[in-house]
A = this chain, B = another copy of it.
Amino acid sequence: MKKITIGLLGFGTVGCGVASILINNRYDINTRTNTDLSIKKALVRNLLKERPYCEGIQLSDNPDDIIKDPDIDIVVEVMGGIEPARSLILAALNNGKNVVTANKDLLAVHGYELFATAEENGRDLYFEASVAGGVPIISAIRQSFTANKISSLIGIINGTTNYILSAMTDQGRDFSDVLLEAQEMGYAEADPTSDVEGLDAARKLAILSSLAFNTRVTFNDVFSEGISKVSPADIKYAEELGCVIKLLAIAKNQDDGIEARVHPALLPKEHPLATVNGVYNAIFVVGDAVGETMFYGKGAGSLPTGSAVVSDIVEIVRNMTAGSEGSLNCNCYRNYPIKSADSFTTGYYIRLKVKDEPRVFATLALFFAEAGISFNSIIQKPRSNKNAEIVLVTHPCKEGQLRQALDSLNSYSKLDKIYNVIRLETNEI
């Protein structure tokens, strides 16, 4: 059996998951790959910290011990963050190592440079764990769907926000209340900005849409809006409208370019993504040959992410055995323009409060008519005070049209308040 040696950059949650899988499933993994796989070294910050699954692994706080070790065939970067991860991966590739990374932050910004370096060196750079750990969506797009032109993908790819929205939906609780609980349970970080504002999902969407459309999409190309303004009232109205509210990551390949956006959206209950709850992730992909497909699983966690890292290691081992490393790297042979937010066409849910007087509804209907927007549904409930809460759901329109209607509304003396404006995702059903 050929011996394959691995070096870890980082030995935190994911590194530990990788080590435990390689120990616990050693017989199966070695038999399946016909190789003897083991971790030789791991880069850590604190050499003295107690850690599980580190028996037989040399710990070091000097990255050179790993990326320059001639014994090491595969470097696994699970430290996260941009630097020093970027420099270390580049150095490892330049030193002839194959690399596995779980680092979405890095790939979403510096992916191009990393893949170019891998290609120059004829090495593999694999990254299944960077998006939705337990869901093998990267290999599905890169390998299983090679026959297809992918027209769109919609993902629930941030577990924190999906956990929060699921709990708000099930229990009718407030955003801030559930966020606090999620932080206590370790589902949300102390600074939750990246998850809650959709930035984490935007990074993952940049990676997925580059792969799906064979064109370069980076973090800055993705429009993103978070979930902090979603209220239990919105969720209840959505329910009445036959929808759930999810933080969706949506990418579409359209005639005028690539649309890539992350935002909360009303999604019809019949959509396969609508029942994806809690910390689960799922990605709904539409290809011209395969039709509608969906992939579902855990998005994070030591073992699911470790499973993705080890599947990448195994792929690289197979390539090493065949001598075919470097054959499946960046494949951005298209150069599509990226659409800006004002050209997105979606339906909108608008919840507002107006004076409950004659002519008021007619006037606000006129504002939308003047902007060329028509309605899909309207909810107005009887109220006891002098204000009426109204929910308007529009047919798809351009963001510019909506802004015109909202501007008219905002300058209208009978308007009390616009509570919220949330997009609707219905096209793909």
**Contact of A314 with B136 at beta-carbon distance under 8 Å, contacts A275-B272, A290-B307, A304-B290 already known:** no
Q: Flag if A293 contacts B296 (CB, 8 Å).
A: yes
CB distance from A204 to the nearest CB of B (A): 17
Q: Flag if B134 contacts A290 (CB, 8 Å).
A: yes
- How many interface residues does chain A have, given as a range? 35 or more
Among listed A137-145, A220-228, A242-250, A409-417, interface-contacting one: A137-145
Q: Flag if B145 contacts A311 (CB, 8 Å).
A: yes
Closest residue of chain B to A276 (Cβ to Cβ) is B272
Interface check A384, CB cutoff 8 A? no
Q: Which of B144, B282, B301, B319 contacts A136 (CB 8 A)?
A: B144
CB distance from A267 to the nearest CB of B (A): 13
* Max chain B C-beta neighbours (<10 A), residue from A144, A146, A275: A144
Q: Which residues of B contact A31 (CB under 8 A)?
A: 214, 331, 333
Q: Which residues of B contact A319 (CB under 8 A)?
A: 322
CB distance from A294 to the nearest CB of B (A): 4
Interface hits, A181-211 → B, CB 8 Å: none
Q: Flag if A328 contacts B318 (CB, 8 Å).
A: yes
Closest residue of chain B to A294 (Cβ to Cβ) is B296
Interface check A376, CB cutoff 8 A? no
Among listed A21-29, A38-46, A79-87, interface-contacting one: A21-29
Closest residue of chain B to A22 (Cβ to Cβ) is B147
Q: Which residues of B contact A58 (CB under 8 A)?
A: none
Number of copies of chain A assembled together: 2
CB distance from A337 to the nearest CB of B (A): 18
**Contact of A25 with B298 at beta-carbon distance under 8 Å, contacts A323-B322, A324-B318 already known:** no
Q: Which residues of B contact A424 (CB under 8 A)?
A: none
Q: Which residues of B contact A25 (CB under 8 A)?
A: 147-149, 288-289
CB distance from A379 to the nearest CB of B (A): 26
Q: Which residues of B contact A29 (CB under 8 A)?
A: 146-147
Cα of A134 to Cα of B287 in the assembled complex, Å: 10
Closest residue of chain B to A291 (Cβ to Cβ) is B298
Q: Flag if B143 contacts A139 (CB, 8 Å).
A: yes
Interface check A17, CB cutoff 8 A? yes
Cα of A104 to Cα of B301 in the assembled complex, Å: 36
Closest residue of chain B to A136 (Cβ to Cβ) is B144
Cα of A314 to Cα of B17 in the assembled complex, Å: 32
Interface check A295, CB cutoff 8 A? yes
**Contact of A311 with B272 at beta-carbon distance under 8 Å, contacts A290-B134, A293-B296, A318-B324 already known:** no
Q: Flag if A143 contacts B293 (CB, 8 Å).
A: no
Q: Flag if B287 contacts A307 (CB, 8 Å).
A: yes
Could you write out 21 A-B pairs with CB less than 8 Å apart? Answer: A32-B146, A33-B146, A134-B291, A135-B293, A139-B144, A143-B314, A145-B307, A146-B310, A147-B306, A147-B309, A147-B314, A272-B296, A289-B303, A290-B298, A291-B297, A292-B298, A319-B322, A321-B327, A322-B322, A322-B323, A322-B327
Chain A to chain B: the 9 pairs with minimum beta-carbon distance, closest first: A322-B324, A136-B144, A147-B310, A293-B297, A289-B307, A294-B296, A290-B307, A322-B322, A289-B303
